[in-house]
Structure 1
């Protein structure tokens, strides 16, 4: 993980999400590419590989040095993930 967590804050946290990602080689995603959902089941239900939308567990949002809000990949939730 490339971000440090503050144990006294709950701003950055692990979350289930559907991530738009044309190439699954990346491990961080801009906020606009991430749809946070309530559960792993909801993430899997919202996934659609033909539209490059994949279920994942992410950490975020976190501000980059450029000021962008980013989410970091913890793991893909589907079985055929690289």
Structure 2
């Protein structure tokens, strides 16, 4: 997947559990686990904003783009 979710890294830096984040943000642990594992198909901006507020970070610290080498497009 070309979008990498670094939620586990930020949780470790903040010494916070996924359960504590779920409670602070107000979303289910199951939905947060799906996001953390990278299996989420989408994330609401309001959810992303709440996570960033609780973790005191920027969206770019949680999400990164890594192009899939198999998806190289010919520009010629």
Length-normalised TM-score, structure 2: 0.24
Greater RCO, CA 8 A, separation 6+: 2
- Which has the larger strand fraction? 1
Structure with max Cα Rg: 2
- Which has the larger helix fraction? 2
